Amino acid sequence: MTEERSAVDVRIRELLHQMTLTDKIGQLNQIMGAEGRVTEELAHQVRSGLVGSLLNEVDRPTVNELQRIAVEESRLGIPLLVGRDVIHGFRTILPIPLGQAAAWDPDLVRRGARMAAREASQQGVRWTFAPMVDICRDPRWGRVAECLGEDPHLAGKLAAAMVRGFQGEDLARPDSLAACAKHFAGYGASEAGRDYNSTNIPERELRSVHLPPFRAALQAGACTFMTSFCDLDGIPASANRVLMTGILREEWGFDGFVVSDWESIPQLCVHGLCADPREAARTASRAGVDVDMMGRAYLNHLADLVAAGELHEAQIDLMVSRVLRVKLRLGLFEHPYTEAEGSLEEPPPAHLDMAYEAAAKSVVLLKNDHGLLPLSPERSSRIAVIGPLAREPREQLGTWIFDGDPSLSITPLEAIGARMAAASGGGVRPGEVRYVRGLDTTRSRDRTDIPATVDAARWSDVVVLCLGEESVLSGEGHCRTDLSLPGAQEALIRAIRETGTPVVLVVLAGRPLALDGVVDQVDALLMAWHPGTMAGPALADLLFGEIAPSGRLPITFPRVTGQIPIYYGHRMTGRPPSPETFVHMDDLPRGASQHSAGAASYHLDTHYTPLFPFGFGLTYTSFAYRDLRVTPSRIPPDGTVEVSVEVENTGERAGVEVVQLYIRDPVASVTRPVRELKGFRRVPLEAGERRTVTFALQAADLAFPGQDMAPVVEAGLIQVWVGGDSRANLEAQFEVI
């Protein structure tokens, strides 16, 4: 035990010794602030030691006053912990987490979280309910926007980076936030992509796919975890002792605290697991849930449960000690108040730069026929900017932006306008921009204004369409069954297509969309997610080639919604589809007979591949890969191979390639995914430049839960691919002996 840890533990013991049962239970109770007011009721609860943590109070003087009441007027002076959903920025908004994941850049994510921590802590917040590290393979689920993609390796690296960013080098610094890895566990697999729905995840998949990012967050120091709302195979997460105690504490050694989700403890009654909130409090506390967020079940029933002998006070002590440990590590006892001065009205330029960089790196170029992009103001001196998301300072921010300030947003229309006006400075005649909204919202079906968009398209040299989903279409409780562009957007695109003017489609959305119906109707396609405060400058610089796109998809894009779940790391069926076996129903002869011999695993009405695969993204240059080497070719189960490959920028512009390393264990004691990402690196290359990129791959990285669920590294061949997306075809192999 380190000195620091034992000092903390001594302090915890001393405090526990002085605490009454009521004081202890107060630490396990989390309630909401009163939005900038210290109400009588709130002051009373804090003074009486009935509250351990607060959420949703971000007014600095109010936080300080509540803290003063806790420290000076409550019996033991234990400071409050103030939490908030600081998900992708605070005042300055970064791209939604799924967008940040598209940058494949852990350091960017770390710096973004650091910026958010600086802003939030200035208001008295010292705990964020982030990162959300749920793996999602069903983008109908609205919370896909908050996740870090479909892949456990990528999400794990980014989750760890986000934790490091929030928590900083030293948790006790006043600008550090305690992170919260959520939602433990399996929430991303909510059936049918419908929020709060049950999940049924076999243990092997839970351990191979859903748990690794949580483990990575823990290893990066995440000091709190949040339970998930969902019922996992009959045991809702907030009652799930296997998860909260067995895996999290006994297997992984977590010593921070677990908070329930909002009212998820009393909701155990709604699930049909507990008869009443008293039973729910008993079940959740026994399972290992330490803090009750907004449920009041602990406050109202824990004392009675102890008195009735249904819960040992030692269990309460354990729960309280975990909460106190986090408060002590945050330095709240020494520095309970927020001494920051100044306001966030105008974030420092460095924060806007951060938001710009994150937005710029998160955009993924999915199509660019005939090199339409980058645009040049000389060739395209008239630009029609069309669509309901071109000038929407609020919508470009996305979901979970409680404290985000839309007045800081620079929209695509503003930035394109500024760029075109500036063209005159270079001796070129000023460019002209015409804006037509076309549809009231992305959901509008009213086509009245489409003719005006057609006129603008006819007038212009190029159309930039800003379509997709406004922010209310994704996020918690905002799920969809049909992932094509909502409302009359497809009709709008088709009408503009008829003009013959080249079209750049910029999609702003909180999830992958099923764009099969429109991808052929546009010349270029940029996936911008919800890019945040600096959406406009980032998009304008990408469109005009000041910078080159460098994002890659962190999640598969289906052709049509019915393909979901479709993800790259699936297991192989016994009858995989192939170009030889695949027949689209349009090509079936009349009266075709039905037979299963030779049939393969595909749908009749769409191709079996996705529209855009995981890892995919274009830029304004091209890359070639050669000379893939794996050395040595045989390693023991504790050995390491070096994988090296030469990457060349074969185009005429500088660009960034995201070099991706995939493996497959082709024959194992349990079937394994057809590909697994095991490494990635952003590699900037000048035109014509070559570079050798190397990865160290340990045999231990190949471990998977074997037939008995224990992790194994099995002897045998391992296939390796390196390339620019999950279809990479440059292959090598090595053997574990």
Is residue 262 within the footprint of ligand NOJ (CB under 6 A)?
Answer: yes
Q: Which is nearer to ligand NOJ, 259 or 553 (CB)?
A: 259
Q: In what order do the strands lie in the sheet with 640-649?
A: 623-631, 640-649, 690-698
To the nearest whole angstrom, how small is the minimum distance from the Cβ of residue 143 to ligand NOJ? 8
The single-letter code of the amino acid at 50 is L
Tell me, yes or no, if 317 is annotated catalytic.
Answer: no
Q: In what order do the strands lie in the sheet with 127-128?
A: 127-128, 81-84, 53-55, 29-32, 292-293
To the nearest whole angstrom, how small is the minimum distance from the Cβ of residue 401 to ligand NOJ? 13
Give the Å distances, CA to CA, from 178 to 14, 220, 272, 471, 684: 23, 12, 33, 27, 33
Task: Please report how the helices 450-459 and 489-497 are oriented relative to each other, as an axis angle in degrees rounded to 10.
Answer: 30
Residues 120-139 within binding reach of ligand NOJ (CB under 6 A)? 129
Residues 77-96 within binding reach of ligand NOJ (CB under 6 A)? 85
Residue nearest to ligand NOJ (CB): 129
Q: Which is nearer to ligand NOJ, 402 or 632 (CB)?
A: 402
Give the Å distances, CA to CA, from 243 to 135, 148, 289, 291: 16, 21, 10, 16
To the nearest whole angstrom, how small is the minimum distance from the Cβ of residue 261 to ligand NOJ? 5
Find where tokens 């494949």 sit.
Answer: 104
Is residue 261 within the footprint of ligand NOJ (CB under 6 A)?
Answer: yes
To the nearest whole angstrom, how small is the minimum distance from the Cβ of residue 476 to ligand NOJ? 6
Under 8 Å between Cβ of 273 and 262: no
Residues 177-206 within binding reach of ligand NOJ (CB under 6 A)? 182
**What long-range pairs does 709-712 form, CB within 8 A, spacing at least 24?**
709/203, 709/204, 709/207, 712/669
C-alpha 666: how far from chain center = 30
To the nearest whole angstrom, how small is the minimum distance from the Cβ of residue 46 to ligand NOJ? 20
Number of residues in contact with ligand NOJ under rule CB under 6 A:
6
Exactly one of 205, 255, 476, 646 binds ligand NOJ (CB under 6 A); that residue is 476
Find where tokens 């015409």 sit.
Answer: 434
Question: By C-alpha distance, which of 455, 464, 460, 437 is closest to 524?
Answer: 464
Is residue 689 within the footprint of ligand NOJ (CB under 6 A)?
Answer: no
Q: Which is nearer to ligand NOJ, 182 or 559 (CB)?
A: 182
To the nearest whole angstrom, how small is the minimum distance from the Cβ of residue 184 to ligand NOJ? 11
What is the phi/psi pair of residue 239, to 5°?
-120, 10
Q: Which is nearer to ligand NOJ, 123 or 321 (CB)?
A: 123
To the nearest whole angstrom, how small is the minimum distance from the Cβ of residue 434 to ligand NOJ? 42
Q: Which is nearer to ligand NOJ, 57 or 85 (CB)?
A: 85
Question: By C-alpha distance, which of 76, 38, 40 is closest to 54?
Answer: 38
Q: Which is nearer to ligand NOJ, 99 or 673 (CB)?
A: 99
**Which residue among 23, 85, 151, 261 is the active-site one?**
261
Site string for ligand NOJ, 273-312 (x = CB under 6 A): ----------------------------------------
Q: What is the β-pairing status of strands 623-631 and 640-649?
A: antiparallel
Q: Which is nearer to ligand NOJ, 227 or 606 (CB)?
A: 227
Under 8 Å between Cβ of 393 and 442: no
Footprint on this chain of ligand NOJ (rule: CB under 6 A):
85, 129, 182, 261-262, 476
Q: Annotated active-site positions, please?
A: 261
